[in-house]
Amino acid sequence: MTQTSQPKPLAGQAAIVSGALGDIGRAIALTLAHQGAHVALGDVKDPAEAEPFLKEVRGAGVRARYDRVDVADAQAVGAWVRAAAKDFGAPALIVPNAAIVTLADFRAVTPEQFARELDVNLHGAFHLAHAGVQELLAAKKPGRVVFVGSWAGQRPHVHIPTYCVAKAGLRMLSQCMALELAPFDILVNEVAPGYVDAGLSAMLWKKNPPAREKARRNVPTQRLIDPAEVAAAVAWLCDPANRHVTGQSLVLDGGLSLTSVTTKKEGEA
């Protein structure tokens, strides 16, 4: 009996992902590629670091490119988006994912730290979404924007107030965009993970290993999240089968945001 292979849901679509050399960014890029999308990757890291990963993405049978770009720089992001669109077509799947985190409470954070973190985490996400949507509208194509937010945008955390502000801003940006862009069949959502066992959280836990286990125990499901699980949620929102979900925050946190507001530091019991 001959087996017919299933058509890939995102076959031939153009995706663009920022922070694509980070742990969650890589998982998102790979997942979208395995579902058939050509992927434009952007990050601040050296292009040499991107080479092995580009090979891996291309191994899924799609096209991929890497651009070194600081998302805080609106002009650089515009140039990246235009170059990617020239290569793969207007980006139908836009995933602003790049972020940094500064461990400094309100009394300790400097105006420079506050401004830089908003520049990357909020303005940077805006720059990519804005430039990408302009390309889509000019091409008269439908699309999906999925911001990578955080449960920290839904609850106050005293040790990372700047990060919380940026992620809360993203949620409102995605809702305003969703309302404005729905008539153009551009759906805009946010995936808001809790504790992912990688990336920014893993970086903090490296400095304080017992905090990882404490964090896990604080999650009602008692589980940390795998980057591939975040990527699957992003891909689900990108799937053409999703024709109705827009302006939503898909909180992927094992119930963490249902627990009481905390004044404790990351991972404290």
AA letter at 109: V
Contact 179, 247 (CB under 8 A): yes
Sign of the C-alpha dihedral computed for residues 175, 180, 181 and 182 taken in this order: positive
Place of tokens 């836009």: 94
- Asked if 18 is part of the footprint of ligand NAD (rule: CB under 6 A), the reply reads yes
- Asked if 252 is part of the footprint of ligand NAD (rule: CB under 6 A), the reply reads no
Identify residues 38-67 at the interface with ligand NAD (CB under 6 A).
43-45
- Asked if 198 is part of the footprint of ligand NAD (rule: CB under 6 A), the reply reads yes
- Asked if 249 is part of the footprint of ligand NAD (rule: CB under 6 A), the reply reads no
For residues 104 to 133, the per-residue mask of contacts with ligand NAD, x marking binding by CB under 6 A and - elsewhere, is ----------------x---x---------
- Asked if 70 is part of the footprint of ligand NAD (rule: CB under 6 A), the reply reads yes
Nearer to ligand NAD among residue 23 and residue 135 (C-beta): 23
AA letter at 208: N
Where are the strands (E) in the chain, listed by range? 14-18, 38-43, 64-68, 93-95, 143-148, 186-193, 249-252
AA letter at 256: L
Contact 133, 77 (CB under 8 A): no
Q: Give the burial class of 246: count Cβ atoms within 10 A of its Cβ; 0-12 exposed, 13-18 middle, 19 or more buried.
A: buried
CB of 165 to ligand NAD, least distance (A): 13
Nearer to ligand NAD among residue 92 and residue 196 (C-beta): 196
CB of 46 to ligand NAD, least distance (A): 10
- Asked if 254 is part of the footprint of ligand NAD (rule: CB under 6 A), the reply reads no
- Asked if 98 is part of the footprint of ligand NAD (rule: CB under 6 A), the reply reads yes
DSSP 120: I
- Asked if 199 is part of the footprint of ligand NAD (rule: CB under 6 A), the reply reads yes
- How many binding residues for ligand NAD (CB under 6 A)? 28
Identify residues 148-167 at the interface with ligand NAD (CB under 6 A).
148, 150
CA 161 to chain centre: 19
Contact 160, 152 (CB under 8 A): yes
Q: Residue 5: CB partners within 8 Å, gap ≥ 6?
A: none
CB of 225 to ligand NAD, least distance (A): 7
Contact 147, 130 (CB under 8 A): no
CB of 241 to ligand NAD, least distance (A): 24
Alpha carbons 163 and 148: distance in angstroms, whole number: 13
CB of 171 to ligand NAD, least distance (A): 12
- Asked if 214 is part of the footprint of ligand NAD (rule: CB under 6 A), the reply reads no
Candidate residues 14, 17, 24, 57; the one interacting with ligand NAD per rule CB under 6 A: 24
- Asked if 218 is part of the footprint of ligand NAD (rule: CB under 6 A), the reply reads no
Candidate residues 13, 16, 17, 23; the one interacting with ligand NAD per rule CB under 6 A: 23
First to last CA, the chain: 57
AA letter at 174: S
Tell me which residues touch ligand NAD (CB under 6 A).
18-19, 21-25, 43-45, 70-72, 97-100, 120, 124, 148, 150, 193, 195-196, 198-201
